[in-house]
C-alpha cells in the first residue's frame, strides 16, 4: 500500500483539489459509503427540480403570473443546464471533486433562498435559474466521480444504481409535495428542499472520500504493468456515445411529458390513471437499472445491450405507444416494457460504456459531460412532439420521433465495442483482487 500513499497529484496539485482524497485506496466498504452519500445528495437535487410540477399552478397563481408563463419554472433548468455543463467539468477538474459539490450546494441554497424571499414572478424565476445551475452542476459532476471512486469490476453496478437518481427523486417529490402543500402551502416544498439540501451536503462533507489514485487511472497502470503498454483510448467513440444520449432524452421526455395528455384525449383515461402509467414506467427503472448494471459487469457487452435498448425504444414509439387504438392494455404493456428496457438499459449502459472506452480521467469527464448536454437538449426539444401531434396525429408524431433512436442505433454500430477490450471477467477479477489487497 505504501506506493499509493501521498501522491494525490492525479486530482490536481492544489490543497483544495486534493481535499477529501485519502492517503490510501480505501476499502470497498468506504468506497460504497462515499458513493451512497453522493447518491443521496444527487437525489436531493432532483427533488428540488421536480418539486414544482405538482404545485406549478399554485406557485404561478401566488405571483399572479400568466398561465402561459408557468412553464418557465421548469424550462429555465433546461436552458441553464446546457450553459453550465462544460464549465461544471472545468470546475471539477480545477477545484476538486469535493469542493465542486460544495459549490453546487451553495448555488442551490442561494437560489432556494431567493425563491422563498421572492416578491414577484421575476425574482422567483431568478431563484429557479440558480437552482437550475446547481442541478446542471451535479448532473455533470456526479457521474464523473464514479469512475474515479469505484473499481472497473463494480462500475456497472454503481452506474446502475446511480442512474436511478432521477426516478427516485421524482417519485419522492411526486408523493411528498402534494401532502406538504395541503398542510402548509406552496412554500413548504421549498423549505423541504432547503432542509434536504443542507442535511445531505453536511453528510457528504463529513463522509465522502476518494481513493489516493483515481480507480480508472489505477486500472490503466495495472494494465500497463501486465501487458507492457497502456490500453488504447477511444475518445471519439466515447464522445459519440455520450452525445448520442440526446437521442434517448428527446424520446424519453416526449413520453413522460405528453403521454398523460394522449391517454386522456385518445384513450379516455382518468387523469390519475394516465399519470400512474408514467409512474409505473419510471418505478420499474429502479430494479431494472440495477440488473442492467450487473449484466454490464458480468457479460462485458455494454455496446450490444445499449443498441438493443435503442431498438426496443424505436419500435415501441413507432408502432405501439401512440397507436390511437384506444387499447388500454397496449398502453400499460408499453409502459411496463419501456420501464424495464429502454428507460433502464440506455442510461445505465451509456454511463458504463464511456469510462471503458476512455479510461483517462479527464478525457472521460468531457465524454460523460455529453450526457448532461444531451439531457438538457432532449428536455428542450421534446416540446416539439406536441406540435407534431397537434398538426398531424399522435401516431404520426410517434413515428417521426422514433426515427431519432433508430438513427442512434446506426451510429452506435460504428463505434468501438467494449467486448474486445481488456475489461473482461479476468481483468475485472484481477483489478478487484488488487484493490482488495491494497485496502487491507
Last residue of a domain, one of 224, 259, 294: 224
C-alpha cell recorded at residue 403: 426515427
Mean pLDDT, the chain, rounded, equals 85
How do residues 251-288 score in pLDDT, each as one tens digit? 998 898 788 888 878 888 776 677 788 888 888 988 99
Write down the residue that cell numbers 501522491 correspond to.
7
> Residue 420's pLDDT band (boundaries 50, 70, 90)?
low
Last residue of a domain, one of 224, 255, 287: 224
Residue 430 forms part of a structural domain: no
pLDDT at 438: 45
Residue 346 forms part of a structural domain: yes
Task: Indicate whether 297 pLDDT > 90.
Answer: no
Task: Indicate whether 2 pLDDT > 80.
Answer: no
Tell me how far apart the alpha carbons of residues 153 and 423 are, in angstroms, rounded to a whole number.
8
> Residue 228's pLDDT band (boundaries 50, 70, 90)?
low
Higher model confidence: residue 376 or residue 41? 41
pLDDT at 317: 93
Mean pLDDT confidence for 51-64: 85
Last residue of a domain, one of 193, 224, 255: 224
Distances (CA, A) of 325 to 205, 276, 376, 407: 53, 20, 32, 27
What's the total number of domains in the chain?
2
**Within this chain, do residues 309 and 210 fall inside the same structural domain, yes or no?**
no
HSE at residue 140, side-chain half, CA atoms within 13 A, is 34
Tell me how far apart the alpha carbons of residues 100 and 102 are, in angstroms, rounded to a whole number.
5
**Within this chain, do residues 60 and 121 fall inside the same structural domain, yes or no?**
yes
Phi first, then psi, for residue 21 (nearest 5°) are -90, 125
Mean pLDDT confidence for 298-320: 93
Alpha helices by DSSP H, 263-301: 271-299
pLDDT at 300: 86
pLDDT at 326: 65
C-alpha cell recorded at residue 280: 409505473
pTM: 0.81
Those residues whose C-beta lies under 8 Å from the C-beta of residue 343, and which sit 6 or more positions away, are 252, 281, 282, 284, 285, 288
Mean pLDDT confidence for 385-389: 87
How do residues 13-33 score in pLDDT, each as one tens digit? 778 888 888 888 889 999 999
pLDDT at 1: 41
Domain membership of residue 212 as a residue range: 2-224
Residue 440 forms part of a structural domain: no
Tell me how far apart the alpha carbons of residues 74 and 379 are, in angstroms, rounded to a whole number.
10
Tell me how far apart the alpha carbons of residues 246 and 372 are, in angstroms, rounded to a whole number.
9
pLDDT at 187: 93
**Within this chain, do residues 166 and 258 fall inside the same structural domain, yes or no?**
no
How do residues 140-176 score in pLDDT, each as one tens digit? 898 889 988 998 888 889 998 998 888 888 888 888 8
> Residue 439's pLDDT band (boundaries 50, 70, 90)?
very low
Task: Indicate whether 110 pLDDT > 90.
Answer: yes
Assess contact for 130 and 111: CB atoms under 8 A.
yes
Burial 272-306 (b: 16+ CB within 10 A, else e): ebbbbbbbebbbbbbebbbebbebbbeebbbbebb
Question: Distance between terminal CA atoms of the chain?
Answer: 8
**Within this chain, do residues 178 and 316 fall inside the same structural domain, yes or no?**
no
Residue 150 forms part of a structural domain: yes
**Within this chain, do residues 29 and 178 fall inside the same structural domain, yes or no?**
yes
**Within this chain, do residues 285 and 219 fall inside the same structural domain, yes or no?**
no
Amino acid at each position: 500500500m505504501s506506493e499509493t500513499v501521498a501522491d494525490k497529484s492525479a486530482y490536481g496539485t492544489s490543497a483544495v483539489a486534493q481535499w477529501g482524497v485519502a492517503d490510501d485506496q480505501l476499502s470497498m466498504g468506504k468506497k460504497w459509503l462515499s458513493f451512497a452519500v453522493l447518491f443521496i445528495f444527487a437525489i436531493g437535487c432532483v427533488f428540488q427540480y421536480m418539486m414544482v410540477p405538482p404545485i406549478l399552478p399554485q406557485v404561478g397563481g401566488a405571483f399572479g403570473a400568466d398561465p402561459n408563463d408557468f412553464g418557465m419554472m421548469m424550462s429555465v433548468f433546461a436552458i441553464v443546464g446546457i450553459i453550465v455543463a462544460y464549465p461544471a467539468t472545468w470546475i471539477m477538474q480545477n477545484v476538486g471533486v469535493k469542493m465542486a459539490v460544495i459549490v453546487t450546494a451553495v448555488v442551490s441554497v442561494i437560489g432556494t433562498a431567493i425563491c422563498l424571499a421572492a416578491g414577484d414572478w421575476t425574482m422567483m424565476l431568478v431563484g429557479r435559474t440558480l437552482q437550475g445551475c446547481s442541478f446542471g452542476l451535479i448532473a455533470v459532476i456526479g457521474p464523473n466521480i464514479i469512475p474515479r471512486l469505484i473499481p472497473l469490476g463494480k462500475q456497472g453496478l454503481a452506474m446502475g444504481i446511480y442512474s436511478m437518481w432521477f426516478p427516485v427523486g421524482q417519485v419522492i417529490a411526486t408523493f411528498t409535495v402534494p401532502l406538504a402543500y395541503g398542510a402548509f402551502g406552496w412554500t413548504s416544498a421549498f423549505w423541504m428542499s432547503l432542509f434536504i439540501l443542507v442535511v445531505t451536503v453536511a453528510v457528504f462533507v463529513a463522509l465522502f472520500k476518494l481513493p489516493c489514485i483515481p480507480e480508472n487511472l489505477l486500472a490503466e497502470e495495472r494494465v500497463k504493468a501486465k501487458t507492457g503498454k497502456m490500453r488504447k483510448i477511444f475518445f471519439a467513440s466515447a464522445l459519440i456515445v455520450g452525445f448520442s444520449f440526446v437521442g434517448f432524452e428527446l424520446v424519453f421526455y416526449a413520453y413522460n411529458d405528453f403521454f398523460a395528455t394522449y391517454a386522456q384525449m385518445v384513450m379516455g383515461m382518468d387523469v390519475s390513471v394516465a399519470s400512474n402509467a408514467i409512474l409505473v414506467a419510471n418505478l420499474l427503472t429502479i430494479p431494472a437499472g440495477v440488473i442492467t448494471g450487473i449484466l454490464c459487469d458480468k457479460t462485458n457487452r455494454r455496446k450490444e445491450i445499449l443498441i438493443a435498448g435503442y431498438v426496443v425504444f424505436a419500435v415501441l414509439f413507432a408502432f405501439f405507444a401512440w397507436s390511437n387504438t384506444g387499447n388500454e392494455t397496449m398502453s400499460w404493456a408499453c409502459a411496463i416494457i419501456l420501464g424495464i428496457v429502454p428507460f433502464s438499459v440506455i442510461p445505465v449502459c451509456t454511463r458504463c460504456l464511456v469510462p471503458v472506452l476512455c479510461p483517462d480521467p479527464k478525457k472521460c469527464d468531457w465524454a460523460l459531460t455529453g450526457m448532461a448536454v444531451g439531457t438538457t437538449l432532449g428536455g428542450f426539444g421534446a416540446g416539439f412532439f406536441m406540435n407534431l401531434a397537434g398538426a398531424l396525429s399522435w401516431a404520426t408524431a410517434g413515428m417521426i420521433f422514433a426515427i431519432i433512436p433508430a438513427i442512434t442505433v446506426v451510429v452506435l454500430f460504428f463505434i468501438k465495442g467494449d467486448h474486445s477490450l481488456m475489461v473482461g471477467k479476468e481483468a475485472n477479477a484481477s483489478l478487484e483482487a488488487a484493490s482488495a489487497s491494497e485496502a487491507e
